[in-house]
Amino acid sequence: DLVCVGAEPLFFLDYISVGHLKPKLVESLIEGIAEGCVEAGCSLIGGETAEHPGVMEDDSFDLAGFSVGAVERNKVIDGSNVELGDQIIGIESPNLRSNGFSLVRKVFLEIAGKSLDDSAWKGSESTLGEKLLEPSVIYAPTILNVLKENEVHAIAHITGGGLPENVSRVLGKSFNAVIHQSSWETPRIFSEIQTLGSIDLEEMFRVFNMGIGMILIVPPKSTDQVLEELTKHKKPACVIGEIVEGSRQVEILR
């Protein structure tokens, strides 16, 4: 979220609440947070742990946190420079990231009656639980490198609301985004959710990232160099759409 406005992440603080304090659990959570901070290039400088017996179940925990970053005022990326004809580059996400899990639980555990220890699908080497808990890709250092040498007009992190809601936020009032679903391969996990839950494609795109974790809107002259930089940092990406005249809508062509 910070790099979407061009900011460099500086530090992170966490908050962990538990029903019953279990040191090994908290240690494991902190280790994961610290690993993520290292990958994102920011410092974990503190946090708080709260114990709530009688309010939370002994084995449950709630994890939250926030990060602070910095960017020069004249380098803030806010979408105001988006122009007609700009291209939309999508950076791939191989998994769910952190969105849509209420629907995921309903589909797999209630509708399909699966266990988290079951195979994710026929022929998969991973259990369902392992597949659902695959780590999110952290794009921050790669995006900051892209911004050093390239003109980027807008960036959107594809979280809750999927491509339609997150891309529309960075469009001007007189522009639409046209996205071509056929330009990237949607990971298998999404087709499993759609099939088992009998969910229409429009709802899938509203809830999930559908294989695109972040988008960059760039002028055509920057496209090749941006794609080259993303490839150099092992972040698979491709052109998935373009900016056309409109009214801040996102059209997904199948």
Three-state SS at 252:
strand
pLDDT of residue 76: 98
Task: Look at the domain 3-75 and name its fold.
Answer: 60s Ribosomal Protein L30; Chain: A; (3.30.1330)
137: exposed, middle or buried (Cβ count in 10 Å: 0-12, 13-18, 19+):
middle
The model's pTM is 0.94
Instruction: CATH 3.30.1330.10 in the chain: give the residue spans.
Output: 3-75
What is the predicted pLDDT for the residue at 234? 97
Class (C level, CATH) for 87-253:
alpha beta
| Cβ–Cβ < 8 Å for 175, 248 | yes
DSSP for 62-111 reads: EEEEEEEEE--GGG---STT--TT-EEEEEE-SS-TTS-HHHHHIIIIII
Comma-separated ranges of CATH 3.90.650.10 domains in the chain: 87-253
pLDDT along the chain (254 residues), means of 10: 98 97 95 96 96 94 97 96 98 96 97 97 96 96 97 97 97 96 97 98 97 99 98 98 97 95
